[in-house]
Amino acid sequence: MTDLAPSPPPPASLSELSGRMADELARLDTELGEVDLLVTQVRTEAARHETRRVAAADKLSAATAAAESAGGAMEPTAAAELNAQLVLLTKRAALMESQVDVLEGKRGALGRYRDALAANVEALGAFGDLPAAGRSNADDDAGGVPPAVSRLLLDAQEDLRREIARAMHDGPAQSLTNIVLQAQIVERLVEQDPTRASAEVRQLVAMVQQTLEATKTFIFDVRPMVLDDLGLVPTLRRAARERGRRADVPVEFESLGADRRLPMDLESGLFRILDEAVAAYLTARADRVVLRLDWSDQVEATVSASRAAEEVRSDPMPEATADKDLPPALAAMMEDRRADARDAIEAARREAIVALPPSTWREIQGRASTLGLVAELTSEGADLRLVAGLPPLGAPTTKA
């Protein structure tokens, strides 16, 4: 097993866990301050674009009125330029407004998460103040966090993912704003130029389809509902296919043996770990990723990544036993060339290794420890292996 980076030690007490959560709370406060600053800046920029849009609309109205009062129509080129300028400024103004909506949504989500974390910090403080009789001796002897507290944190994370999925499903502001703008353009063209309107309608339909697909993909990444309905294997098969399609890299999936449903927390944890590992390997520029499940009296999951190695020719010069008979300068030059060839081969070998990023490995270690999984990283970080024990047949697999 090869650790790419030392994992943080588990907290030794509830007070230490509370301290770590307090540090995270401080970081959230800093990020919220940065988001507030961004909102202010984007609002200012949105107001500037709206002012320019209003000025362009007034200019177009004035030019149209002047042409009509003169008993004619605007020159087509000038009218087209003014209309194009107005459309462009309208799109920019709408885009800036949608950016404000996105930032406001992020600020709201971070604020809710911050409040929940603050409440948990306060609750843990209350736990720490309980008398010794109110706590389990087994927890003190183990020197770790009680399992109930760890499970509470994992459940809170899943609840947050569900909230993000619902928010994205209910209204992706930026895409919908662009769709509304496109619909307004189509509405105007239907009366003025039906031929152009048909092309804009096709573009509108394409925008709606792209937004729908992006929304479905986002929801699947946050919390795939198929995991609750069908289980781990179908969900991982779809995730591997979608990850490979988006990265344009083959992601192979294979399940060996008779699969079965697992407890909800184990299924969710396994999926999250394996999906994040595949995504991390793809981000590390893997040319091929293989995800495999092996079912027996336990389930063993492996993720392997590889990259095509650059072909390097080996040293054409064999080791010469008679180098000692050569002039010293020539013998040294030949040895340097052999050393360069060996270094090139080793560099190509290392370049072909796709290592799991240290931050991802630390997160996987933490999740695996909480779920009671065995996690190993081998082949210099290119192979991840997880082993989980299977519950007895007939045991409940979902929460009551």
pLDDT at 4: 47
Give CA angle at 344 (338, 347), nearest 5°: 140
Q: At the top level of CATH, which class does the domain 225-308+352-389 belong to?
A: alpha beta
- pLDDT, one tens digit per residue, over 140-164 is 444 455 666 667 677 777 776 776 7
Helix (H) or strand (E) holding 58: helix 14-69
pLDDT of residue 195 exceeding 90: no
Tell me which range, 138-152, 174-188, 267-281, 296-310, is most confidently predicted by mean pLDDT: 267-281
| pLDDT tens digit sequence for 229-273 | 888 999 999 989 988 988 899 999 999 998 888 888 888 889 999
Q: What is the pLDDT of residues 93-118, one digit of tens each?
A: 677 677 777 777 777 777 777 777 77
pLDDT computed for residue 294 by the predictor: 94
Pick the most confident of 128-137, 196-205, 280-289, 344-353: 280-289
Average pLDDT of the chain is 75
Beta-sheet strands, E only, within 235-324? 251-256, 288-295, 298-306
pLDDT of residue 302: 94
Residue 189: per-residue pLDDT: 79
Looking at residue 202, its pLDDT comes to 82
The residue with greater pLDDT, 130 or 226, is: 226
DSSP labels, 306-320: E-PPPP-PPPSSPPP
% pLDDT > 70, the chain: 71
All residues at 6 or more sequence positions from 277 whose CB lies less than 8 Å from its CB, including other chains: 303, 356, 360, 364, 384
Q: How far apart are CA 204 and CA 190, in angstroms?
A: 13
- 380 token code pair: 């210099």
Contact indicator for 380, 355 with CB cutoff of 8 Å = yes
Rg (CA), the chain: 30
**For 14-30, what is each residue's pLDDT tens digit?**
667 777 777 788 887 87
Q: Which tokens go with 29? A: 């406060």
CB < 8 Å & 24+ apart, contacts of 144-147: 144/10, 144/11, 144/12, 145/10, 145/11, 145/14, 145/17, 146/14
DSSP assignment of 126-171 equals: HHHTS-GGGS-HHHHHHTS--HHHHHHHHHHHHHHHHHHHHHHHH-
pLDDT at 140: 43
Q: What are phi and psi of 272, to 5 degrees?
A: -60, -45
